[in-house]
Structure 1
Amino acid sequence: MPPESETSNTFPKSALPSLEAAKEQAKRLRAGLSNEGTEIGHGHALELVARQYGFRDWNTLHAAIGNKPPIVWRVGDPVSGRYLSQKIEGEILAVETVGPGWFRLTLELDEAVDVVSFESFSNFRKRLTAIVGPAGSSVEKTSDGRPHLAIDM
């Protein structure tokens, strides 16, 4: 295992939690350890959370996450990006919070996209629902490793 100062981040930025979520994770960790008889300070819990994400300390994780306000998705907002590697533009029809920084979005697309890549068959969709994280992309990926949905931020 590399020395603590050489620890490098192994998570893509899109997989990092929001600052609020990371702090909440540290609170849960601290409470869980306390229930098992191990008392640690909040600062130590923050450092442990940072290491879980592959950073050497809390300040480095904090800088990687950034200190910008969380994304707010609203019904009626226009969106653009890619769905199954095809360019899309449309409007948000529904928003549901599923976790800190994660949202289930229902989009109505301006133009239907073919969700099948097979040459002799097509299936066009004008409405789609997906869960996106803080970076605006879904966890689900295509076979070539691209997110199913990636919204331009």
Structure 2
Amino acid sequence: MSARLPTVAEAKAQAKRLRAQLQAEGQEIGHSKALELVARQHGYRDWNTFHAALGNAPPEDWTPGGRVIGRYLGQPFIATVVAVKMTGAGWFRLELELDEAVDVVTFDSFSNFRKRIQGTVGPSGTSRERTSDGRPHLEIEI
């Protein structure tokens, strides 16, 4: 088993990459088979056992004191995680203290800067809430 286990989202992404690589080499496997192979790569007998070991813990950087990079309302930021709370399987409400305030208004004649923000992000690091152009309100790099 590896020293740091991946998150569920990272493990699923590994399975997706494995499946794509094998397909490129002419070997077709299903998604469930790819999940089973990833579980074995991490020293677990099957995906269910591996998934249970992973739990629904946030990524390591998403714990209080962790550092994250992302975008809030399209504005890039670097921040320290102040608080985290699980809101559902793979979903976490983060409170972030930004290194530098970001302007959350797009008007040229008006500004509103924020240094502390909150948002709920899922396994892919993005919020469900979207701006009018379809971009997630909060995007955290995983």
Give the TM-score normalised by the residue count of structure 1.
Answer: 0.56
User: Of residues 109, 120, 134 in structure 1, which corresponds to 2:98?
Assistant: 109
Q: How many residues align?
A: 96
Give me the CA root mean square deviation. 2.4
* 2:31 counterpart SS class: helix
1:67-146 matched pairs, under 5 angstroms? 69=54, 71-72=58-59, 73-146=62-135
- Going from structure 1 to structure 2, the CA distance change for 1:76 and 1:99 (only over 3 Å counts) comes to same
- Going from structure 1 to structure 2, the CA distance change for 1:62 and 1:88 (only over 3 Å counts) comes to farther
1:62 and 1:116 map into 2 onto residues whose CA distance is 46
Counterpart of 1:93, as a letter, is V
Counterpart of 1:60, as a letter, is H
2:16 aligns to what?
none
2:33 and 2:105 map into 1 onto residues whose CA distance is 40
- Going from structure 1 to structure 2, the CA distance change for 1:150 and 1:61 (only over 3 Å counts) comes to farther
1:35-46 matched pairs, under 5 angstroms? none
1:126 and 1:140 map into 2 onto residues whose CA distance is 20
- Report percent identity of matched pairs: 53
Counterpart of 1:137, as a letter, is T
1:38-90: CA deviation from partner (whole Å, max 9, x where unpaired) = xxxxxxxxxxxxxxxxxxxxx537858x8684543210000001111111001
* Alignment partner of 1:150 is 2:139: yes
In structure 2, the gaps of 5 or more residues are 1-7, 10-29, 40-50
1:102 and 1:122 map into 2 onto residues whose CA distance is 30
1:47 aligns to what?
none
* 2:97 counterpart SS class: strand
- Larger Rg belongs to: 1
- Going from structure 1 to structure 2, the CA distance change for 1:117 and 1:63 (only over 3 Å counts) comes to farther
In structure 1, the gaps of 5 or more residues are 1-17, 20-58
1:42 aligns to what?
none
Q: Relative contact order (C-alpha < 8 Å, sep 6+): which is higher? A: 1
